Amino acid sequence: MSQQISIPIPGNTLKECKMNIKSNKNHAFTSYLSCSHKILLIILLLLAMIILAVVPWIYYSMQHEIENKRDGENNEELFSSSGIDELDNVCSTLICKQSALHILNNMDESVEPCDDFYNFACGNFLNTTTIPDDSGSVDIFTMMNHELQKQLKNSLEELILPDEPKSFKNAKIFYKSCMDTAMIEQRGLEPFKKILKYLGGWPVIEDENWNETDFTWIESVYKCHEIGYSDSYFLNFGITPDVKNTTKLVIELDQASFKQKEFFITNENDEIDSLKRTNDSHNTFKKLYNDYMFDIAVMLGAPKNNKTMNQLEEAHEFKRALNNISLSEEERHNATELYNPMTVADLSIKHSSIPWKKYLNTIFAPNVTIDDDEIVIVAVPSYITKFEELINKTSKRTLANYVIWRVIEDSIYFLSENISDRQLNLLKDLSGISKREPRWKMCIEKVSMLPSVQAMYIKKYFDKNAKRNIGEMVGDIRNQLNKTLHENDWMDNETKKNALDKANAMLSCIAYPDELLNDEKLKEIHEESLEFHDDKFMENILAIKLLITKETYNSFRNPFNRSDWMNHINVAVVNAFYNHIENSIELPAGILQGFIFNNHRPRYMNYGAIGTIIGHEVTHGFDDQGRQFDKDGHLENWWTPITDEEYRCKTECMIDQYSNYTVEEIDMEINGLNTLDENIADNGGFKLAYLAYKDWSERNGEEPTLPGLKFNPRQLFWITAANVWCRKVRNEIARDDIKNDIHSPGKFRVIGSFSNSESFANDFNCKEKSKMNPKNKCTLW
């Protein structure tokens, strides 16, 4: 997990329990029983029937009892003598039985753990899990997200109460408008066509009636901004803490923003990638997308002819050209190279074809004024130069067709069903996803951006005690980070002191900010200023987007407080984050549930799951990007040359290690450079969580094991940690992940990190030079 990642596609993979019962295969057993024996057998059968009838009630009672204990009991209380088999020291509580069942369902014990620990821990999951037709993959996170979405759905479908806050009412009205597909179909495409008209019209539709004298690309940006659409289709302006002075916000100018990197829009020097390599080519995929654009255009009223197709192809080529002048993620690794301050006046001189002062004042209006002396941080100066050249040689018709198509791309989900169906047909060809997810899930995704919805989730579903317990784990893991840094033998004293200062200054945002439960504080976010209508989904969604944009720009002159979590609140999400500029980790409430965390199970499971995620996030502060920032989030080189060289040498080992891994199902190698930061965080995260659990266990004594599993607590830590990354994925998605994702596939997150760990090898008695215990290991932290 990184500063910004997204996870989420649902599916339940828990299978029916498979009991390994040894039976006496004497098929004639009952034929030799005496009469008294038969009577006894009948009595035993009746008793068995009574027991079977009572079991469900017992199960419910246990579950109810556990729920009643959620007011702060720790594991020592839960695992009292009533929940432990004293003879074998095995935990027999309901939670432990469920946990054991989960692990057993995932595990393939026929695999030797020292040969392939991932398939040992996840093999049965991979063999028995079916990916739903509406999903690209299934894993722990998608299943947790599914449960979270269902909880939000239940809250939003409750009746609107007269005395509840207006922001809560608004959220329910918004959700209702999204779910009202009959009204969306009744309104048809006319409301959206009015938006296209307001934006200057779409040449593809208006053909010869379109008047280019009324169009400039800059005016199109202004108009998109005014009604709630993105203003970053050409240039990406934003506000961010100044990495040289993080108490102050600054304007940042970056290359165009694309929601996702399309697989067929590759840089000119890249190997052409495709999601279906067999017998398919770059041109085939380009045609698929151009046909998609053409069909959508015709649905919106464009003539069905070659001229329409030609215009769309030109717009798509312009989009590809923007990508070709942009820096790739690999090229954006050095934060210093992305920090190029210029005044507005300097920009106006160097790139005179763009009216920068007017541009910025229009976007920031009416509450912020920008003058010539305003500093702008230009992330990619070469992009601005090449963009200016590209714009000046591109026709107005192509620019207009491009920007309107970007608007359409951002609008598909609130248009009519036939347009959504056409998008699904494209997805079938590209990703193997053959079914749309249920409407309610999309509606939850859109409405959950509102702080009020996140407050609903916390108030109704989140166990408040988890916040305190997670805080204790964070403290334990950060203590291990300090020990690791202090005992480090390759850093000199000066660099080590700076590293320890940074570790001690790191902030932890756990579960949710307390202000989220304060209705008066929610009013300050201005959400209540919105007026939603239950029959106008399109207008509602644009109103939310416009409010968020205005709030962002209006905050520009405010001082930045890195400890204020309300600056970027999103707690109803199954993810975790590290923020370089704030030097903070964020563990939202949405991830503190399910298999990742439970207050009432053994600590080795919690340290193996959420503990490794916590360790992952704190290690991001010292990955190849994080290490470029100091304790206050300033872009500052705090490494002495000799220690810097040692660091680079160690990361080269890791780059080589992961670059040698191949995903056999798709015959693609991992890019060890692209995934370096996440691999560093994985290796550090597993190590820190393990050391924290080991320390906890030494203080509190060895915990009971899980029923039906022949593993000790430390082994169960590693098994739990591996289970977090059990993932079944479509080949089409896997190929795209290898190309674009900064994370290694789940299998190699486990194998790569565990094979670097002496502790893992010792706990499973892996022989030296076995696959999971190679002689040469890559270690950094």
Active site (catalytic) residues: 617, 682
CA distance 412 to 414: 6
CA distance 197 to 406: 15
CA distance 14 to 144: 12
Residues forming beta bridges with residue 250, ordered by sequence position:
240
37 token code pair:
């024996």
Look up residue 26 and give its DSSP letter: -
CA count, 13 A, side-chain hemisphere, 369: 1
Give the sign of the dihedral formed by CA 18, CA 22, CA 28, CA 34.
negative
With CA atoms as reference, report the closest residue to 109 among 609, 689, 715: 715
CA distance 715 to 654: 25
CA distance 361 to 108: 61
Look up residue 610 and give its DSSP letter: I
Looking only at the bridges linking them, the beta strands covering 375-378 and 341-343 are antiparallel
CA count, 13 A, side-chain hemisphere, 440: 14
Q: What are phi and psi of 341, to 5 degrees?
A: -70, 135
CA distance 322 to 310: 19
3-state secondary structure of 137: strand
3-state secondary structure of 589: helix
CA distance 345 to 341: 12
Residues forming beta bridges with residue 668, ordered by sequence position:
663
**In contact, 319 and 265? CB cutoff 8 Å:** yes
3-state secondary structure string, 362-409? HHHCCCCCCCCCCEEEECCHHHHHHHHHHHHCCCHHHHHHHHHHHHHH
Residues forming beta bridges with residue 770, ordered by sequence position:
773
With CA atoms as reference, report the closest residue to 477 among 446, 510, 451, 454: 510
365 token code pair:
């209006």
Helix, strand, coil proportions of the chain in percent (round to 5)?
Answer: 55, 5, 35
295 token code pair:
């069909």
What DSSP element (H or E) covers 169?
helix 166-179
